[in-house]
Amino acid sequence: MGFALAEDKTKDLVVVFYLLFLITVGLFLQTPQEIFYGLKEIFIAPGMLITDYMVVGGIGAALVNGALVGLIGFVLLKINKIDLNGISIAAIFTMVGFALFGKNIWSVLPLIFGVYIYSRVMGKAFKTYIYSALFGTALAPLVTQAAFGYGWGVAAGIVVGVVAGFVIAPLANHLLKAHAGYNIYNIGFTAGFVGMLFLNIFRTFGYNSEIVVIWGTEFNSTLRWIFLPMFVSMLLLGVILGRDRRKDYREILKQSGTLITDFVALGGFANTLVNMGIVGLMGSAYLELVGGHYNGATVGGLLTMVGFAACGKHPVNIAPIMLGIWLGTSSKIQPLSVLQASAPGPLLAALFGTTLAPLAGRFGPLVGIIAGFVHLSIVSNVGILHGGLNLYNNGFSGGLVATIFVAVINGLQKEK
């Protein structure tokens, strides 16, 4: 009991430390006046995929926004008396990551409130659906696009967000069955359908929405020296805290990673930190090798990888997916070969496409490579269905890919 309580306190302290670290760095990079102005610009931006908040409001404002959105998730978990486990850590870091390019402090609240209303209608505690609420903030652009992109006003944006939040909780449970947990970003899959629903309703009344590309290219030197040390610190801190349980890391590497695989429960928090650091460095290495840019979107991808390294991703199961996506950018038979691996779409596919890691973990690296290759083709074309209203575009694509692969593989195995 004593050890468990001590580890719970350690988890809380470590997660809060990294959130406060990002706020501190943000305050150091810009003056309070600049951050205030930057946050104002972030709050009124439509926030469609891909809107780099570091371009919109500056690095400092974007980091402060990201950390505060993460703190909203942390506080909600604590209020509902939920101890930090693998999926909780994934939710917090994913919220931080996407708050660098699409979510902001106010746009996530209507969606969360919509899920809360659904829980009351169902007569259940909010914590029953809390992960649908936290990950469901993928639809934050619905709120800001309605409010500012369409010019309907903040009140209308809030109403749209609440309705979307109400819908996402039951739909998430239903769609999980389709891919059987082989797409880690299940809410991204769900949000794709919800975004598609709303977009087509909007189009009926003459309001359209399309993916944009606001992509920072001048932040490499600054962000490299913020996030590489951050990932290294996770690795070192995990080694120090887990000096008596290092062998348990092998237990993490044995897992396929299907949703929900809690690495904190399987290998302990210290080994999970080690895994988070390694996965973050692997994502950074890919970024460096292909000559990509560090910006709000790519750092969001890295932080999402790090978060889900507590709940499904590890070096063994993400490497084949990333390799498959890289091959997709270099293969002469791939229509997307005209795009470089460092282009926004393929680069984000390589980072976020690791949502398919369980396919490689369960069925082997060859299946993982093929899945990554196919994912690149699909993710590059499905955005038109939701018009950038779903930030988790790779989760939407990953759900489609995983559903197809699991159905075919299981069908072949049954025939044999």
110-149 per-position pLDDT tens digit:
999 999 999 999 999 999 999 999 999 999 999 999 999 9
Q: Is residue 344 part of a domain?
A: no
Whether residue 174 is predicted with pLDDT greater than 90 in this model: the reply is no
Mean pLDDT, all residues of the chain: 93
Q: Is residue 135 part of a domain?
A: yes
Whether residue 4 is predicted with pLDDT greater than 70 in this model: the reply is no
Rounded mean pLDDT, 62-86: 97
Whether residue 5 is predicted with pLDDT greater than 90 in this model: the reply is no
Q: Is residue 380 part of a domain?
A: no
pLDDT digits (tens, 9 = 90+) for 339-384: 689 999 999 999 999 999 999 999 999 999 999 999 999 998 999 9
Whether residue 57 is predicted with pLDDT greater than 90 in this model: the reply is yes
Whether residue 101 is predicted with pLDDT greater than 80 in this model: the reply is yes
What's the confidence (pLDDT) of residue 1?
Answer: 46
Residue % of the chain over a pLDDT of 90:
86
pLDDT digits (tens, 9 = 90+) for 15-51: 999 999 999 999 999 999 999 999 999 999 999 999 9
Q: What is the pTM of this model?
A: 0.95
Which tokens in the block code for residue 382? 């499905």
For residues 65 and 71, what is the distance between their CA atoms, to the nearest angstrom?
10
- CB count in 10 Å sphere of residue 244: 9
Q: Is residue 164 part of a domain?
A: yes
What's the confidence (pLDDT) of residue 222?
Answer: 97
Q: Is residue 270 part of a domain?
A: no
C-alpha distances (whole Å) from 238 to each of 232, 233, 293, 311, 345 are 10, 8, 28, 16, 33
Rounded mean pLDDT, 323-336: 75
Query: In sequence order, what are the beta bridge partners of 51?
Result: 214
Name the domain count of the chain. 1
What's the confidence (pLDDT) of residue 415?
Answer: 61
Q: Residue 166, CB half-sphere, CA atoms under 13 Å: how many?
A: 11
Structural domain span for residue 148: 2-204
Alpha helices in 30-149 (DSSP H): 32-44, 53-56, 59-79, 86-98, 109-121, 130-135, 140-144
Q: Is residue 243 part of a domain?
A: no
Q: Is residue 120 part of a domain?
A: yes
Residue % of the chain over a pLDDT of 70:
95
Q: Is residue 237 part of a domain?
A: no
What's the confidence (pLDDT) of residue 336?
Answer: 46
